[in-house]
Amino acid sequence: MNGQITALYHYPVKGLSAQPLDSVSLTPGQGFPHDRVFGFARPGAGYDPDTFRPLPKNRFHVVMTTAALAGLRSHYDPATGQLTLHHNGTSLLSADLGTDDGAEAAVEALMAFLDLPAEERPILARGGDNRFTDISVVSPEMMNAVSLINLASVRDLETRAGAPVDPMRFRGNIYFDGWPAFSELDLVDREITLGDVRLRLCLRTRRCPATEVNPVSAERDLRVPKLLQEIYDHPDMGIYGEVVSGGTLSRGTEISL
pLDDT value at residue 128 = 85
Superfamily name with CATH number, domain 2-30+138-256: PK beta-barrel domain-like (2.40.33.20)
Residue 156's SS3 state is helix
Between CA 38 and CA 16 the distance in angstroms is 10
What was the pLDDT predicted at 224?
A: 98
Element (H, E) at 227: helix 224-232
* Angstrom distance (rounded) from CA 175 to CA 160: 20
Which residues is 3 bridged to in the sheet? 255
Q: What is the pLDDT of residues 184-207, one digit of tens each?
A: 999 999 999 999 999 999 999 999
Q: Are 232 and 178 in contact (CB under 8 A)?
A: no
- Number of Cβ atoms within 10 Å of the Cβ of 117: 7
For the segment 60-72, the average pLDDT, to the nearest whole number, is 96
- For residue 252, give the 3-state DSSP assignment: coil
Strand partners, 191: 200
174-177 and 146-150 strand pairing: parallel
Q: pLDDT tens, 132-152?
A: 999 998 888 889 999 999 999
Residue 172, CB-side half-sphere exposure with 13 Å CA sphere: 26
Question: Do the bridges between strand 13-14 and strand 38-41 make them parallel or antiparallel, or are there none, so unpaired?
Answer: parallel
Domain boundary assignment for the chain: 2-30+138-256, 38-134
**Over the chain, what is the mean pLDDT?**
96
Average pLDDT of the residues in 216-235: 97
CB-facing half-sphere around the CA of 28: CA atoms within 13 A: 8
Note the pLDDT of residue 134: 92
Mean pLDDT of 122-131: 92
Average pLDDT on 45-72 reads 93
User: Measured between alpha carbons, how far apart are the two ends of the chain, in Å?
Assistant: 6
